Amino acid sequence: MSTMVWSRALRGIILLCVPVIVGCTASAPVDPDGGSGPATSTAPDSVERTVAERENRPSSMRDDAVMEALRAVYVDGAYEEVVRRARQRRRGSPDSSDVIQLNTLLGRAEQARGNHASAIEALQAARTAAAETNRSVEAINRALGDSYAALARWSEAAAALRRVLDAKPDDRAARQALAEVYRRSRNWGKARERYARLLRADSSNGRWWARLAQCDLERNETEQALRHFSRAHRFRPQSADVALPLSRLYRARNRSDAARRVVDTTLSHQPGDPRLWRRRADLAFEADDLDTAR
């Protein structure tokens, strides 16, 4: 009797558990491979969106990262590495923006290595790409001017710097560079004109007064040279390159006392310059001051 009661109770328990087991099985996620792990959504729009993000956004981010890395290498002074990487990347036909940045950076790195012919080639490519897309070319023209000047290609250097000034007439660095190009190419008339313009903007620049005086001297305008070297000496009393020609001009006018004052002033700033001591000795000898001459 007790066995029969126990059997009936066991069957009741089993019947109560079956619906729970069935419900758990029905609610469990189905793995496509037949397992019972969590399923991954494979909706077509989600897949397409993911692919598009990988093809578009990461590509531009990679381009930016490459250029940023190149700039960092350039700042570190590893110019040979910049040249290698830039040339390698340039062969990949990047977009126009990349072409401008790559060639400009390549040109700068070649300049730093002293390879100005290669720098000009890269900078010209950058300028062409920039002009085709209506982008600014002032910085590129300025860099071209530097490389042309380094190769003594004076007319091309002047043309590049004039293009900078056509766009930015008040660009002081370009104005100074153009004056220097004319001076180094011994175009004294144009150099004098450019230094006079610079001094109208800043009359306290002793170096520019000295450059202007040099132009005067080369043009045999000695009175103006004397006046302008005097102005240069006022602002740069420590410069032997100013004191020596100025004292020579005073000597030519039999103004030995003025010549000595100029040399003595500069000697107080540059006591170790043998050129100044020789000039001082010459002036003392002319004045029959043999003790000082010795």
Three-state DSSP string of 222-259: HHHHHHHHHHHHHHCCCCHHHHHHHHHHHHHCCCHHHH
Report the helix count and the strand count for the chain, using DSSP H and E: 16, 0
Cβ-based neighbours of 101, under 8 Å, separated by 6 or more: 67
pTM over 0.85: no
- Locate the domains of the chain by residue range: 63-135
Token readout for 25 is 């099985």
- The predicted-structure confidence for 175-187, as pLDDT tens digits, reads as follows 999 999 999 999 9
Pick the CATH number of 63-135 from 3.30.1280.10, 2.60.40.10, 1.10.8.60, 1.25.40.10: 1.25.40.10
Burial 234-261, CB ≥16 within 10 A → b, else e: ebbbebbebbbbbbebbbeeeebebbbe
- Give the pLDDT of residue 277: 97
Token readout for 122 is 């890269």
Give every residue of the chain whose pLDDT is below 70, as ranges: 1-63, 93-97, 288-294
- Give the pLDDT of residue 272: 96
